[in-house]
Every structure is written in C-alpha cells, then in structure tokens.
Amino acid sequence: MLIKRSDGRAAKQRLASAYQGLSAGGLDRRAFLRQAGITGAGLAALGSLGTGRVEAAEGSMGVLDHAQPVTRVKNICTHCSVGCTVTAEVQNGVWVGQEPSWDSPINRGTHCAKGASVRELVHGDRRLKYPMKLVGGTWQRLSWDTALSEIADKMMAIRQASGPDSVFLLGSAKFSNEGAYLYRKFAAFWGTNSVDHQARICHSTTVAGVANTWGYGAMTNSYNDIRNAKTMIIMGGNPAEAHPVSLQHILSGKEINRANLIVIDPRFTRTAAHATEFMRIRPGTDIPIIWGLLWHIFENGWEDKQFIEQRVFGMEKVRAEVAKWNPQECERVTGVPAAQMRKVAELFATQKPATLIWCMGATQKTVGTANVRAYSILLLATGNVGAPGTGANIFRGHCNVQGATDFGLDVTSLPAYYGLDENAWRHWCRVWDVSYESMIARFDSKAMMETPGIPTTRYFDAVTLPKDQVQQRDTIKGMVVFGHGGNTVTRMPEAKKGLEKLDLLVVVDPHPTSFAMQSDRRDGTYLLPACTQFECDGSRTCSNRSAQWGAQVVKPIFESKSDYEVMYRLAGALDVAAEKRNMPVRFQAEMFKPFDIRDSAPTAESLLREINRGSLSTGYSGISPERLKLHMQHQDKFDLVTLRAKPDAPAEIRGDFYGLPWPCFGTPEMRHPGSHILYNTNLHVKEGGGVFRARFGVEREGKTLLAEGSYSRGSEIQDGYPEFTVAVLKRLGWFDELTAAEKASLDRYFGANIDRASWATDLSCGIIRVAMEHGCVPYGNGKARADAWNLPDPIPVHREPIYTPRTDLIAQYPTLPDRRGFRLPHLGQSVQNRSREIAPNFPIVLTSGRLVEYEGGGEETRSNRWLAELQQDMFVEINPADAAARSISDGAWVWVRGPESDSKARVKALVTERVGRGVAFMPFHFAGWYQGEDRRGKYPPGTDPIVLGESVNTLTSYGYDPVTFMQETKVTLCQISAA
Amino acid sequence: MARMKFLCDSDRCIECNACVTACKNEHEVPWGINRRRVVTINDGRPGERSISMACMHCTDAPCAAVCPVSCFYTTADAIVLHDKDLCIGCGYCFYACPFGAPQYPRVGNFGSRGKMDKCTYCAGGPQQDNTAVEYTQYGANRIAEGKLPLCAEMCSTKALLAGDSDMIAQIYRERVQRRGYGSGAWGWRTAYRETVTI
Amino acid sequence: MRALRTGLLALLLAFGAVIAGEAQTTPAPSGNQPNPPAPLPFSDRGQPQADELELQLMLQGRREVGRITIPNQQAATLIQPAGREWRAFHNRTLAWVGGVAVLGMLTLLAVFFLWRGRIRMHDGRSGRTLLRFNLLERANHWMVAGCFIILGLSGLNLTFGRHLLLPLVGPEAFSAVAQWGKYAHNFLAFPFTLGLLLMLLLWIKDNIPNRRDITWLRQGGGIVGSAHPPAARFNAGQKMVFWITILGGGAVAVSGYFLIFPFFATDIAGMQLSHIIHSVLAVLMIAAILAHIYIGTLGMEGAFDAMGSGQVDLNWAKEHHSLWVEQELAKGRDAPAPGGAKPV
C-alpha cells in the first residue's frame, strides 16, 4: 500500500532516532533542547525495534515522569479567537503534557485539532532556531547583536534617504495585547502610520462597518451568549472549521432552545451539515440576500418598530433600497428561491432572540464594509441588538486579532481607535509622557502624521509603483514583519515582485514564514526567531472582548526572544545606528521610559498598565494585570452562559464578567465588571449595561442622532445624551462632583481647554466616574446609524464582484468608480470592466477558506507533525459535474489558472458536492510551492514546514474594499484542467 | 466495576480532529499511526455526518477472538488491551475488526508489519502503570491516574463521550430528549450488540 | 491501580455532570414555553439511525465508507461488519475444514495402511534401476517440499497453535515460535513460488491429462486393486498431485502475496477474501500432500527412490509406469545395475 508514512525528512528523523541520548535522570531542559529537532518520545519507538520484546531504549523516559513534581501553567491557545485556555504540565522547564482546562467557561476542557496539539509548537523541531540572513541566496547564521545592528543600520539608511514612511511595519494578531501596543508605539516613534496586521485581511471591514453603525467595531455578544439564541444565521462563516470550540456553544444553544440554525453560504460546509436550514447563494451576493430578507420582513411588518424608532437613525432610506429587492430580482441575482427567502426571513424576524454570525465570507469582499453594514441593519431592523441571544456575533480570526486591532496595529488609528488627528496624537503624547512637538519631528510632516498609512494588502504596490503614484516622500524600501505569513495577501505574483525590489526585509517569527521562500531575493533578508506566546507572559483579547492572561509556560526555546525583547533591543540598536549617522532621532530611552525593564525586555504587566492609562475609549482602562490574573485563577467561578462571577466567587472578582470584556470603564479600582453584551439597556452601566454610542454628532438633516426614550437601566438621564466632556458635566451641574485630584489632572493636561476634555481623554477617569455614578454611559446615548453618510455607500447597495461570471449584471450593479485611498490608486472599475473578456475563459468562481487543521498562512501549523499528517496536500474542491466535464477524477492533480498574471497552481482535485456547479474552493493555508515549483530548498535548512503546497493567493486577484482596502479573496474566476 | 465505552454523537461531531491530535499529543503517536480518526459519510450532501472512530473496546472482541497468539486481554473495566511483547504483527485483528482500529507501524514489507498498535482507552498496557516502559510501548495511562481518555475529554463539542456505559448512555439519552433528535450510538450495535434506547 | 478506581469513578461522575449540567445552568430565554418540535438538522435528514444502518450493513454485507483526509484510505471505512463473518470463518469454518481435512486424511491413511499395508513390488526388486528424476528435478522437488512443510506447519500454527501449542509452552515461547514461524512463512513463500514455476516448466509436458488417465482411474490406479494399469511418466494420480500442487499452490501463493503486501492491490474485503482462499486451499493441499507423502514413503515400496536417489527399480517402474519404461528403453537408456553395472 502506498501510504506516505513519512514526509521526507520530516518524520523519518523522529522514527529513526527515538530516545537517542536522553539522560537517565529524566528529561531536563537542556537535554530536551539538545534533543528537539531530532527525536520524539514514546511510541515513536514502536516502529524501529525488532522482534521480541519492544524494549524502551536505554535510559529513556516517557513524556511525563510520574516520579517528579509537575507544574501546571495556564495560557491561551495561540490559534483562533475563541480563547481556549490551555493547561500545560511542565517538568524541569519542559512542557511534557497537556490537560483539559475544565474550569475555563469558554472551552470547558475542550479543544480543536490545533488546540489539542499546541504543545508541539514549543517542541518545535521546525522552528527558526537562531537569527539568519540571506547572503547571495544562501542562509547564514548570525548572532542577535550582529543581526540587530545590521538591521538597524539599514533601517536608518532608508530613513535618511527616503524618510520613515519608506519602512513598512507589519505587526501581528499573534502578539499579546502588550506586544501589539508596543509595536504601534514603536511605529509612532519611528514616525510612520504604515503599521498594519492581519485584521486588515480578516475583519477590517467588520470593524469599519460595525463601528460606523453603532459605535464599537467588535462582536456585540459572546460565544457563550449564543446559547441563548432562538434563531442563528451563520452567513459567510464556517465556524465548525474556523472556530470549532464555538460550535460547542452554538450546538448546545441549538439543542437547549431547539433553535433554528440557518447557514447561508455558497458552500455546504461542515457547519452547514448541522444546520436546520441551508441556503446556497451565488458568491458575492450578500447584500441582495440581506435586502431580500428585509424585503419580506418589511412587507409583512415583522420589523421591530419601537426599536427602530427609539434607537435607529435613517431606516427609511434602507426601506427605499430594500424595495428594489423584490423576490424576483433577488432570485435573479442570488439564485435563491423566493420561498426559502421568505421562510428564513420569517424565522429570523419572529423567532427571537436571533443572532447573526459572520466571518470572512462577509468581510473579504470589495463590498466588505457594505456587507457588514447590511448585516447590522438586518439586526437593527429586527431589534436584535443589545440583549442576550441577539447581536452581531462576529467571529474574529487569530487569537489576539481583537486586541491587536484595539491597540492600533492599523494604518488609520492610534491605539484604542483614537484615530490619527491632532487630538488623538495629543492624547497619546500625554499617555506616553512625551511632547506633541517631539512626535511631529519624528514624522516627515504633520500631514503625514495624520494620513493613514499603507495597508498590508497593497504594500507591494507601494514598492513597485512609480514614486509619483505613491503619496509619500518615497516608495517603500524596507519592511519589518512580526508574526505574519507572506501568503496571506492576494496577487502573490505581484507581491513576489514587490518583495524582490525591497532593500530590506526583516521577518521576526517563530518560523521562517513564507516570506523566506516566496521571492527570489538573494540579500538583505533577515530572519529573527521570535518565541510563541507560550514562552512569554501577556494578555490577549478573544473575539468576545474578554481579555485573558497567559502565563509563560516555558522559557523561549533555542535562541528565540519575546516580541518585547526584540523591540526593546531593536530600539537600542536604532539609537546606535542613528548616532553613527549623526541623526538626532532616538528611540529606546523615550519609548520605554514608563516600563519596568527586566532581562532586556519590558514586563508585560508594566506594558498593560500603560495600556490601562491610555485606552479609555474602548474601556481597556479597568483591565489591570492583577484583575486578569485573578480571573484566570478563579475561572471556575464564572457562569457558563452569563459569564458572570457567581456569588460564591472571591470578593475581588464577584460580579465581574469573565475576562472583563471591554468596555471596562474607569480605573481598575472602580471595579467596572466589563460589558458582556454591548448596548444592553437592561443593565445598569456599572453592571455592564450600555446604549448605542453617540459618536457621530447630535443631529443630522434636522433629525436627532441621540436615542429617544431608550436608556440603560438606572440612568438619571432618561433619553439620549451626547458623550461626556467637561462641558457636558458643567451643563448638567455635575462638574463639582469631580475630586480635587481629578480636577488637578484635567487642569494639568488641558489647562484653558478644559471644556474640551472628554471621558476618553481624561487620564484621571473622573468624567467616566461621575457619568457612571449617575447611571450614564460615558460615551453618550445615541442612535445606531442605518444611514452612515460618511461611507462611500451610506446605504449598502449591491455591487458585482470585480471578477464576476455574471457580466450581464455589471452595467446595473457596477463597482465603485476608480479612486485613490491609503496613499495609492484604486482601480476597481477599470479592472471590473475586464470581466467581460475574462469570464468566458475562466468560467468557475474561485472562493477560499479555512481548514480546521491549519491556521492563517499555515507555516506554524504545517510544521506541526500532528496537524500536518491530517492534511498533506493542497487541493481544490470542485463539483462532480464540473469535474466530469473536464475529465478530472477525485484525487487527481489539476492546474487551476487565475485571471491575472497568467497565474496557475498545481493542486489535487477533491471532487465533492460541497461546492455547487461553477464554484471551486481552495483552502488558504498552504505555501511552499509556486506555480508548480516546489520551493522547499528556499527555506533555511531544517525549518521547512512538513507540508508544502500551492498558495491560493497565487490565483486571487485585484479587488479592494473602498473603506479599508480589504482584499477580495472570496470571489474571483478561475479555470481548472487536468494536470 | 465500570463498563467503559465510547459514544460518538454525530449530531455534535464537526470533524475538528481534536480527538485525533489529543491522542497524538498524549501518547506521542508517530506519523502514520492513527489510533483515532474522524470519518465523514455523505460528504457534501444532506445527511453528511462525521463520526470519530477508534477501537470501541467491543464486548467479545473480534480481535481477541482471532488473534493467533492470544495477546489480547480485557481489563476489569472492559477495556480491550493487548500485549505488544506477544503480538507478532500478523494483521488478523485488522481483518476481524469492524472499526479498522488496529494500526501497524510498517506497511508493504513482507518481513513484518511490526507490532500492532491501537487505542488503549488511555489505559496503557500490561506493564506497570505509568512507567517509562509502559509509556514507550502503549502511551500514557490516564485511567490509572483516575482520568478518562483525552480524546473525549478534549472533544470540542463534547460529541465524543467516554466513560461507564450506563453513564454515557444516560448523558446521550438526555441530550436526545432535550433536542428532539439523535442519530444513535455509532458502532454500538456492532461492538456491543446493543444500542441506546431513547 | 485498585486504589485509583474510586478516584476514577468520582471523575466519571464529575465528567458526566459537566456535560449533563448544561441543562440546569442555562435559563430558557423565552420564558416557560414548552419546547416546539425540533427542526431536524441536515445531517439527520433522510438518514437511518446508526444501529439501523449497522444492521443493514450486516445484512447486506456492505461497508460504510466515508471521506477522510489522511492518505490511508483504509481508514475511510467507518464500519465493516464483514469482520464478523471473517471472524466466524477463521474461528469456526477454517478450524473445522482444517481439522477435518488434516485429521480426516491422516485417519484415512491410517485406515488404508492397516487395510492394505505397504504396497510391495510385485516381482520384488530387479536390481536394475532407471533414472526417474535428475538432480535438478529432485532438488527442486525437495525445495518445494521443504518450503511446503514449513509453510504448512507455520500456517497451521497460526490457526491451531493457540489452542494446541500455547497451553503447552506458555505465551512467551509460543509468541517467539509464532513470530519466527511468521517470518519463515513470509520469506519461504518466495522459494516456494519459484519452485512451483520450475516444477511447472519441468513436468508440464508429462502431466497433460489423456484418455489413459481415465482407464487408470477406473482401475483404481492399482492401489485399490492389484491390477497395474499402464501409465506413462506420470500416472493419473501423480498428475493430480501435480495439478493440485501447481494450481492449488499457485492460488495459495497468489492469495498469500495479497496478504504479504497488505492493501497494495486490494482493500479490506479483498484481504479477507484472500485470507479465506489462502487458508482453505492451504489446508486442503496439506491434506492432499499428506496422501502424497504417504504414497511416496510408507505407502509404497520403491516409490521414495524416485525422489531419493532418483533411480527407481526397473520392476517398480514396469509396474507403475509401463509406458514410460518402454519409452526409456526404446531410447536405449537402460537402467544401470546397482553397483555401477554397465548397461546391457
């Protein structure tokens, strides 16, 4: 039988050399590190020994030595955003076992394939072990000091010649909150806004769309709260593979409430298999579906009229747009029969509470923001926001993508969504204790300081485009990447060109990542080994806004360093390089001034304290390290459904919501419990209640933007109100309730401008305190916006994908005209007009998505032997009819060709009815092959992932959301032929 | 004495493979040996079901019945284990097993397929409990520590139940009554000649 | 171990409570309404219950095969109730067939021996011999025979050793014997097969059945009666042994190779079938070859020489292979007298 028992060198080493040289006294840390990379333990031995007794090799031991004490350490899974607690068993500094984390209210002991195998990450025989650089096309080892000083020197050279904006800083959703915050701060001190991370390519449109609707760009409820829902729609998401543990809550809720689980997707996913209703749609028609559902809802009067009247602005304009989507038009565009639309609409609007769950099927579109807005409007129209069992349950991607977004690894904002305007900069300068003027001096100009940077979806365009097309001093010359794969961005053939043109490429990651392999660079590439989050302390925020503290399980393995240390030492190296070049700018001393530095790294606790001090607007201010650690310690005291600490919990946490889901207003001492459910008027603000955020002014077109007759429980103002400022306090006569210390703080920072000090900029938290004393929510009580006038499409309208098979619809539903954004040209319509010539030769819609075994760009998970074994080949799902027409059999090799750059990919065919006719699906986790070429040799020796394959992004094509430059990964065209 | 069984609730199983990697992690099972696996039937169609399958620790186990060297034994908890020191790797148990549980470290070689390996219900083997020797040959012995198999403990949706037959049947029964549907106890008729009556 | 049982049970209870506890901790959000009928999820629509499906599979002899991502496609088989039939075959049918065939043949031969005794040469030894099998033929015969004996014994050991030998020698020793027997079985398959091929080439021309064979058979081959029907180089009985060896051995070898290279060319059903064919034919062959051995040794005076020295007594040859003797004599290849006497 031709089973692949081993994949090249990957597994053979393990099998062949089980137990070599382990010390007799047990596996200590040094022995372990010596062994890591050449051996596994345990059953690995069974294949290699002879006939009689299967002997344990001499002096060896099992993974866990029962004769020695075991330490248990709690950390958080580093894969998806559900936030499963991982309980590690540690002996002699080696992670020897993993036990179920029964106490966690989120995962309750369980894991998915990735979570159950995280231990392998820290055994890491495929990890990057020491700094390396590319010299003439070959990898050379070098010391940390040399590497950092060379990198710093090159960065300063670029800065000198082209300005700080010519270095693109790419951060990571794998950072802890503290790491993400520090990197954003680093970008600010470096002097650029071109600092981005994975949220750009997963939920940037969600954040933009949802924040523009009701104030905060995050999941409104929680995974646990889904247990309360009576109807759930999962649209554009496959949580069974992407967030498996969330299915525990979804399926339990479905069972307990006998709830409707409706899956709307182009693909019959593993989630759809558990649905009570499955609606197969044409890819890229989300808005017509939502408007089609609303058409039935409005037609039958199923909408929540009181909710709309009290808490929603601009629903009339939605009605006008929805009226166009009668069942006939809806079916013509989406392919969904009217009867099913009516049924789903009725269920969603009448079987309440109902929740809408979405993921990247909604967001990774040229109309991503509009999609998300439409989804939100559906929730608003049916009154399904702000109560248990309702809400926009947005499943974020990576383990800390929420936190990294919150801390401004975003080209449009400083930490905590303050934006980039002068007020924002002045606020953060106060927090950082630096002068505003000194910060301006770090940038090319004040204008550049307030201009959104270049996003990760287009960095390569900013490298390759002519200088005059990029609105900054020079094109991008250098790139520093922390924890990010290179195969995650569309148009890889173009990205390859961009990478090859860079002067400097620095990758800081536990693995070499696909950046090491995907271009033909020969010099100027550095790989620095970062440790995983299991090897350092820090908090991370899961999708439901709960923050959890992860404690270091083991010290960083090999020569890897924590993100904190890398940044600290890089800042120091930059100082040296600046001095050498006689440049006045300095980094380390100013930037790390407030932090405790231990072993050349700021401590996570001190970083989080600065976050608490500055991140008032999102209510990260109450989330102190002490409170988070207490929550981790007493996980068992939190209720499974309400997430609230039960009456028998210790006094310090009693009444808290688990992980203090933000907003957790005020100082930690105020003991705000966090907000489990956003905008929940049924609770007092001090109990985690809330209202829609008054973020967009008080009046528009003669109509109020403040809530009417709706307020959170116990509010002294029983109507809408604007956000709290000193001026508002004075008007209400509450100003003198501020303590002397609070007034002094306001006076110190604002002086004559004291009236303009708001709850979000008052570092003393006095305004917040006073507002909450009166039962008022500091951010004001506004209406949610059905009409977001500041967006390109204030009311979402259907726009055909850039590459659409329905060229007949382009004239009626064109994409937005060509424009500029994020310092770059955006040529959506010009490219869309190509569809007419492209479509006949590329008749299959190509969409992409997740596999449960892998995550993100997949380097980490494809290097994990326990996961890699489960998915050994990149594949394309193709419908049996399409396969038969092309004489393609299941498991055969095929070429998939994309519509741009003559791109092609050699993958295996998976013939299945999961995809409908004319649709193909490819997972996005693979890299290492490029257009049929196996590039394994391009990885530094011993660090190549076990499984390699073609990246789907070799085939994906142009298309960007106008608001966030989200890339289009879900709808493009392709052709498939037998290889 | 408990009668240990597995029960996979296919209405909950989402093919997340946690059971598979939990097993690999706990016992350091090498590449190519799959003590547990998840099979999806009717893939991509209504009726799609995923079922996590491993050794079911059958009543009157066929593997034990056909073993030419009689290397199988059943513990007091009705867990079917085998002695690798006696196993000759003939493959008979694989022919007899209704669930494809037996695994062999080598294939295609005419000398030997190696010692058979299979799910131990996290109960180790005939060696002394929780010793290095036992771990090397059979993996961890969680049962001796008073724990249950890790695959079930870590199942993302709690689809896979492990424990005493009566207890897990009761959990499943309550679940089915609560939600109003249930596809039954997979493999129970074949393995135990019984099923969970609702 | 025993002390831990209590802990285990406690944990079981706790685990059960964790799962079952969901019902109690979850408040019903929509008041006290009775639960409406549950909408059926897609995975249950139009599908049989697990136990019904298993019953169907068993009755129809089917397997339930799904999709799996690991390359080992054997793992895609979820349930194969056919394992039960194979078990019944292995433990019952094969044991009976094997037992009856082998023991039955031995009994038959014993009875025959008692009744007929050793078949002597009618005219006694002539003192002159004829070369019946040359060195190549004999060497090949003994290679095949040797292999066959070991293959047979090790094979029988896998079927009966557990009941016969194991209680006598204990599990460790028995496992060692079985293990080495298995190695021997696997490796000797190759010389055995080669020998069969050579045998086929060497002897096929003399083993083509013809009309004389019918006469020979009708007269009981001279074994039952006292007549000596004429026969060429091989009489019908020997031809039967030849064809049993070639065809049976060939089939056993082919089915054996399927088992040696598991799943290389077939699936689990094919493996089970291969094993059934292999084992049934093997025990039948063993029975047949027992008879062959009896006739060649104990049963008939002078027969062993053919494969021993290769030289058979002229009288023996005349009795059993009159036509062959005529042919040989016509060729002028007279048998040399013992003691190196020159041909006449």
Q: Please report the domains of chain C, with CATH numbers, ordered by start residue.
A: 119-330 (1.20.950.20)
Q: Express each pLDDT in A456-492 by its tens digit.
A: 999 999 999 999 999 999 999 999 999 999 999 999 9
Cβ proximity of A120 and B22 under 8 Å: no
**Cβ–Cβ below 8 Å for A7 and B31:** yes
> Which of C18, C44, C73, C260 would you mutate first to test chain B, the one with the most B CBs within 10 A?
C44
Measured distance CA(A873)–CA(A895) in Å, rounded = 14
For residue B36, with 0-12 CB atoms within 10 Å meaning exposed, 13-18 middle and 19 or more buried, which class applies? Answer: buried
CB atoms within 10 A of CB C292: 20
> Which of B27, B31, B106 would you mutate first to test chain A, the one with the most A CBs within 10 A?
B31
Nearest CB among B46, B68, B92 relative to C42 is that of B46
Touching check for B180 and chain A: CB below 8 Å? yes
CB atoms within 10 A of CB B189: 23
Q: Which of the listed CATH numbers 3.40.50.2000, 3.40.50.10860, 1.10.8.100, 2.40.40.20 matches domain A807-978?
A: 2.40.40.20
Nearest Cα residue in chain A from C36: A258
Pick from A401, A466, A475: nearest CA to A194: A475
Cβ proximity of A356 and A302 under 8 Å: no
Touching check for B91 and chain A: CB below 8 Å? no
Identify the band that residue A56 occupies on the pLDDT scale cut at 50, 70 and 90: very low
**Cβ–Cβ below 8 Å for C66 and B190:** no
Q: Express each pLDDT in A361-380 by its tens digit.
A: 999 999 999 999 999 999 99
Q: Which residues, 6 or more positions from A888, have their beta carbon under 8 angstroms from its beta carbon? A: A878, A882, A894, A909, A911, A976, A977, A978
Q: Compute the CA torsion angle B95, B99, B102, B107 (nearest 10 deg).
A: 70
Average model confidence (pLDDT) for chain C? 81
Touching check for B189 and chain C: CB below 8 Å? yes
**Cβ–Cβ below 8 Å for A3 and C71:** yes
Identify the band that residue A298 occupies on the pLDDT scale cut at 50, 70 and 90: very high
**Cβ–Cβ below 8 Å for A388 and C29:** yes
Average model confidence (pLDDT) for chain A? 90
Please compute, for residue A289, the number of CA atoms within 13 A of its CA located in the half-sphere on the CB side.
27
Nearest Cα residue in chain B from A854: B16
Nearest Cα residue in chain A from B135: A62
Measured distance CA(A650)–CA(C344) in Å, rounded = 118
Helices marked H in chain C:
2-20, 22-25, 50-60, 82-88, 94-116, 135-156, 162-164, 166-169, 171-203, 211-218, 236-243, 249-260, 268-294, 303-307, 314-320, 322-330
Q: Where are the domains of chain A?
A: 1-68, 132-190+412-606, 220-394, 690-795, 807-978
Q: Identify the pLDDT of residue C125.
A: 82
Q: C237 versus A306: which is more confidently predicted?
A: A306
Q: Express each pLDDT in A862-901 by its tens digit.
A: 999 999 999 999 999 999 999 999 999 999 999 999 999 9
Q: Compute the CA torsion angle C154, C155, C158, C159 (nearest 10 deg).
A: -140
Percent of chain A with pLDDT over 90: 88
CB atoms within 10 A of CB C277: 16
Identify the band that residue C31 occupies on the pLDDT scale cut at 50, 70 and 90: very low
Secondary structure letter of residue A513 according to DSSP: T
Would the pLDDT of C268 be above 70? yes
Measured distance CA(C29)–CA(A384) in Å, rounded = 14
Would the pLDDT of B17 be above 60? yes
Measured distance CA(C77)–CA(C302) in Å, rounded = 57
pTM for this predicted structure: 0.90
Measured distance CA(B67)–CA(C162) in Å, rounded = 8
C267: chain A residues, CB-CB within 8 Å = none
Measured distance CA(A624)–CA(A5) in Å, rounded = 49
Would you tell me which residues 58-87 of chain C have a C-beta closer than 8 angstroms to some C-beta of chain A? 67, 69-72, 74
Would you tell me which residues 165-184 of chain B have a C-beta closer than 8 angstroms to some C-beta of chain C? 167-168, 170-171, 174, 178-184
Nearest-CA distance C268 → chain A (Å): 12
Q: Express each pLDDT in A559-613 by its tens digit.
A: 999 999 999 999 999 999 999 999 999 999 999 999 999 999 999 999 999 999 9
Measured distance CA(A664)–CA(A678) in Å, rounded = 11
Q: Identify the pLDDT of residue C29.
A: 44
Nearest-CA distance C81 → chain B (Å): 5
Q: Express each pLDDT in C231-256 by its tens digit.
A: 778 888 888 889 999 999 999 999 99
Lowest mean pLDDT, pick from A111-115, A423-427, C67-71? C67-71
Q: A429 versus C123: which is more confidently predicted?
A: A429
A113: chain B residues, CB-CB within 8 Å = 16-18, 20-21
Please compute, for residue C97, the number of CA atoms within 13 A of its CA located in the half-sphere on the CB side.
19
Residue recorded with tokens 């596994």: A40
Q: Identify the pLDDT of residue A63.
A: 65
Measured distance CA(A492)–CA(A967) in Å, rounded = 12
Q: What residues form DSSP beta bridges with C251?
A: none
Cβ proximity of B99 and B81 under 8 Å: no
Q: Where are the domains of chain B?
A: 4-192
B119: chain A residues, CB-CB within 8 Å = none
Touching check for C76 and chain B: CB below 8 Å? yes
Nearest Cα residue in chain B from A257: B179
Residue range B4-192 forms a domain whose CATH class is alpha beta
Nearest-CA distance C53 → chain B (Å): 9
Pick from C243, C246, C212: nearest CA to C324: C212
- CATH for A132-190+412-606 is 3.40.50.740
Parallel, antiparallel or unpaired: strands A132-135 and A525-529: antiparallel
Identify the band that residue C264 occupies on the pLDDT scale cut at 50, 70 and 90: confident
Measured distance CA(B177)–CA(A505) in Å, rounded = 59
Identify the band that residue B136 occupies on the pLDDT scale cut at 50, 70 and 90: confident
Touching check for B108 and chain A: CB below 8 Å? yes
Give the long-range contacts of residues C28-31, CB within 8 A, separation 24 or more. Answer: C28/A256, C28/A257, C29/A228, C29/A229, C29/A230, C29/A257, C29/A353, C29/A388, C29/A389, C30/A230, C30/A257, C30/A352, C30/A353
Token readout for B10 is: 């296919």
Nearest CB among B49, B179, B188 relative to C43 is that of B49
Q: Identify the pLDDT of residue C330.
A: 80
Average pLDDT over residues C192-209: 90
Q: Express each pLDDT in A789-814 by its tens digit.
A: 999 999 999 999 999 999 999 999 99
Residue recorded with tokens 């033929």: C137
Q: Compute the CA torsion angle A547, A552, A558, A562 (nearest 10 deg).
A: 50
Nearest-CA distance B61 → chain A (Å): 24
**In chain B, what is the straight-line distance between the N-terminal and C-terminal CA atoms, in Å?**
24
Identify the band that residue C303 occupies on the pLDDT scale cut at 50, 70 and 90: confident
Rg (CA), chain A: 27
Pick from A929, A920, A668: nearest CA to A805: A920
Q: Which residues, 6 or more positions from C126, have their beta carbon under 8 angstroms from its beta carbon? A: C313, C314, C315
The CA–CA distances, whole Å, from A239 to A278, A358, A411, B106, C137 equal: 15, 9, 28, 36, 72
Q: Identify the pLDDT of residue C227.
A: 67
Q: Express each pLDDT in A702-719 by its tens digit.
A: 999 999 999 999 999 999
Give DSSP secondary structure letters for A26-46.
Answer: ---HHHHHHHTTT---GGGGG
Measured distance CA(A694)–CA(A720) in Å, rounded = 9
Q: Identify the pLDDT of residue A29.
A: 52
C20: chain B residues, CB-CB within 8 Å = 170-171, 174
Nearest CB among A108, A256, A272 relative to C26 is that of A256
A54: chain B residues, CB-CB within 8 Å = 84-85, 115, 136-137
Would the pLDDT of B13 be above 90? yes
Touching check for C31 and chain A: CB below 8 Å? no
Q: Identify the pLDDT of residue B114.
A: 82
- Evaluated on CA atoms A334, A340, A342, A348, the torsion sign reads negative
Helix (H, G, I), strand (E, B) or coil at A71: strand
Nearest-CA distance C190 → chain A (Å): 19
Measured distance CA(A749)–CA(A768) in Å, rounded = 16
Nearest Cα residue in chain C from A107: C18
Average pLDDT over residues C123-136: 85
Q: B105 versus C103: which is more confidently predicted?
A: C103
CB atoms within 10 A of CB C17: 12
Cβ proximity of A3 and A939 under 8 Å: no
Tell me, letter by letter, the H, E, C secondary structure of chain B.
CCCEEEEECCCCCCCCCHHHHHHHHHHCCCCCCCCCEEEEECCCCCCCEEEEECCCCCCCCHHHHHCCCCCEEECCCCCEEECCCCCCCCCHHHHHCCCCCCECCCCCCCCCCCCCECCCCCECCCCCCCCHHHHHHHCCECHHHCCCCHHHHCCCCCCEEEEEHHHHHHHHHHHHHHHCCCCCCCCHHHHHCCCCCC
Q: Identify the pLDDT of residue C41.
A: 83
Average pLDDT over residues A199-226: 92
Average pLDDT over residues A957-977: 94
Average pLDDT over residues C193-203: 92
- CATH for A220-394 is 3.40.228.10
**Cβ–Cβ below 8 Å for C39 and A51:** no
